[in-house]
Amino acid sequence: MALYRGSTEPAARARLATLIAASALRRGDHHLTACALAHAHGAPGAATVGLLFQHHAGAEVVEQQLDETAGRVGAARC
């Protein structure tokens, strides 16, 4: 969260919030996931994390979907 608070660029803040949300979702921390998603609008992968969170996806589904999303987001940057 310190990186998020220290960033001044809105796009960077949204990406950091998405990473925080994905990490929290993976750990099962629903409170932090919800808080981070509130700041993740428009960032790549934010919609996927939000859907997984809303649908209370199982741990194996979360892992698979987040890995796939990370692959797509990483490939899009190249």
* pTM of this structure: 0.77
Q: Which residues contact 77 (CB under 8 A, 6 or more apart)?
A: none
Predicted confidence at residue 76, as pLDDT, reads 67
Backbone φ and ψ for 18, nearest 5 degrees, come out as -65, -45
pLDDT tens for the chain, 78 residues: list them: 566 666 677 888 888 889 889 999 989 899 999 999 988 988 888 998 988 888 887 888 888 888 888 888 777 654
